[in-house]
Structure 1
């Protein structure tokens, strides 16, 4: 029996925007800066979901550290 993980490992830009609430232009800024990882498949840009998760966790951690300082 094959089981499929319901959470995708990559998403296109519109889905990444919905998942995170980050605007399209800000996502592209983060991609250019290397803050979020992606791959190209033909003409499509796929954002790695784990990369989104790690970015947001890092952002949260930095903000908590700034608040406690």
Structure 2
């Protein structure tokens, strides 16, 4: 019920979804790389449509391209 409101608030505050994983441990390397670059980030837990836990990593919209570069993200 609150998910659309939370997503809207994050969008208004210029946070964009960067990566999603089923466990927090899978995001640890990415979080470490982003913290080394002093990029602001948010990690939030929620239930997906199947009712399983998932963790979402958010970065600031202005820092998204730098975050992608630092983590080696490629669109293909």
- TM-based fold match above 0.5: no
Structure of larger gyration radius:
1
Structure number having the greater helix percentage: 1
Higher relative contact order (CA 8 A, sep 6+): 2
Q: When the two structures are superposed, what TM-score results if normalisation uses the length of structure 2?
A: 0.29
Structure number having the greater strand percentage: 2
